[in-house]
Amino acid sequence: MRYRIIVVVLALAAVARIAAQQGPPGRPAAASQFVVLGTASGPNSEATRAQPANVLIVAGQPYLIDAGDGAVAQMAKAGLRLGGVRAVFLSHLHFDHTGGMLAVLGLRMQLEVRGKLRIFGPPGTKTLVDGLLAASAPAMRAGYGIPGQPWSADIDVVELHGGETTAVDAFKVTSAVNSHFSRPEGDASTPEGVSLSYRFDLADRSIVYTGDTGPSPAVVALSRGADLLVSEMLDADAILATMRPPGARASTQPATGFEWHLHAHHMTPAQVGELAAAAQVKRLVITHFAPNIASAADEQRYRDAIKTRFSGDVTLARDLDRF
């Protein structure tokens, strides 16, 4: 009898939480939010910006989008509970976008969170997660040292190849392969990595997250008509200038190696503006800054470059901004 009473109480509490999220009858559910946890690029760490991580809040529930180093700490700063995360979406498997995943998994187990955590990502995501769980095995066996009570992980990994539309709770997620691992012109070999961009079609709006990408027709198509586009941006020339000896000039030779990677696999401010204009999005938010914006003059220069291509609303995000 006592067990039944507990079950009923828990059920009523769950109904109350859902009702609070949805609001009174006849009124729409609470508006979604996109929280930018970290706006730096990698692999270097920044003192004033965390590595790439974001949270999408739908009906009061958080969904993690990329999980760079420090993602869990940034969630705490944003007033969000790790235990509430219902799913994780990884754009690609570079460490600056996945470095916080051990904390996501391990601390979730230590908190003894009940319920499945779904992790969506490109091919290789299952290998990543399996490796992290293997590394967690000693702590899982030990638990809190209570005999017969080890920690357990309830993880469901879904690998996406681009083009899929998946129902996640009450919204749809569509993925597209972008150009972050594209090969040089004339090279027909298959890239070793896959990088995904995501579109979230919610009850109140549509949001596209590019992740790391260079110019990409697939991302333009994915972003078409979106209410909010959250795009990466990188100043390749500024990065390369910091790598040259003092007084040395930029090379006039065709870009190769790392220089080619910066130009081909990331977006300049003007290219971000071109993407937003071509897709006819309503609002543009910029993240993944490299190098870090050091002054108001830098910020204005980037904004001006974007505005030469896109006349809509543009925000250069800071950590913990909400949209």
Q: Which helix (H) or strand (E) holds 72?
A: helix 71-77
Q: Which residue has the tokens 């005999």?
A: 147
28 against 7, higher pLDDT: 28
Residue 15 forms part of a structural domain:
no
CA distance 72 to 239: 28
Q: What is the mean pLDDT of the chain?
A: 89
Q: How many separate domains does the chain show?
A: 1
Residue 25: pLDDT over 50: no
How far out from the chain centre does Cα 290 lie?
A: 16
Please give the average per-residue pLDDT across 267-295, as a whole number.
Answer: 96
Residue 247 forms part of a structural domain:
yes
264 against 296, higher pLDDT: 296
Please give the average per-residue pLDDT across 5-17, as a whole number.
Answer: 38
β-strands 33-38, 53-58: how paired? antiparallel
pLDDT of residue 152: 94
Residue 126 forms part of a structural domain:
yes
Residue 25 forms part of a structural domain:
no
Which residue range forms the structural domain that includes residue 301? Answer: 30-139+150-182+195-322
Sheet containing strand 61-67, edge to edge, reads: 155-159, 117-121, 87-89, 61-67, 53-58, 33-38, 321-322
Tell me the three state secondary structure of residue 268: coil
Pair 252, 199: CB distance under 8 Å = no
Residue 110: pLDDT over 50: yes
Residue 131 forms part of a structural domain:
yes
pLDDT band at 252; cut points 50, 70, 90? low
What residues contact 95, with CB distance under 8 A and at least 6 apart?
42, 43, 69
pLDDT band at 240; cut points 50, 70, 90? confident
Lowest mean pLDDT among 27-31, 84-88, 221-225: 27-31
Residue 3 forms part of a structural domain:
no
pLDDT band at 92; cut points 50, 70, 90? very high
pLDDT band at 21; cut points 50, 70, 90? very low
In this prediction the pTM is 0.88
Residue 8 forms part of a structural domain:
no
pLDDT of residue 255: 54
CA distance 280 to 282: 7
Residue 254 forms part of a structural domain:
yes
pLDDT of residue 237: 85
Residue 50: pLDDT over 90: yes
230 against 184, higher pLDDT: 230
What residues contact 54, with CB distance under 8 A and at least 6 apart?
34, 35, 36, 37, 38, 64, 65, 66, 209, 230, 287
What residues contact 31, with CB distance under 8 A and at least 6 apart?
204
Q: Which residue has the tokens 């390369």?
A: 240
Residue 46: pLDDT over 90: yes
Nearest to 201 by CA among 156, 162, 166: 166
CATH number at residue 90: 3.60.15.10
pLDDT band at 77; cut points 50, 70, 90? very high
Residue 5: pLDDT over 60: no
Lowest mean pLDDT among 89-93, 159-163, 200-204, 241-245: 241-245
pLDDT of residue 161: 97
Residue 23: pLDDT over 80: no
pLDDT of residue 236: 85
pLDDT of residue 239: 84
Residue 38: pLDDT over 70: yes
Residue 66: pLDDT over 60: yes
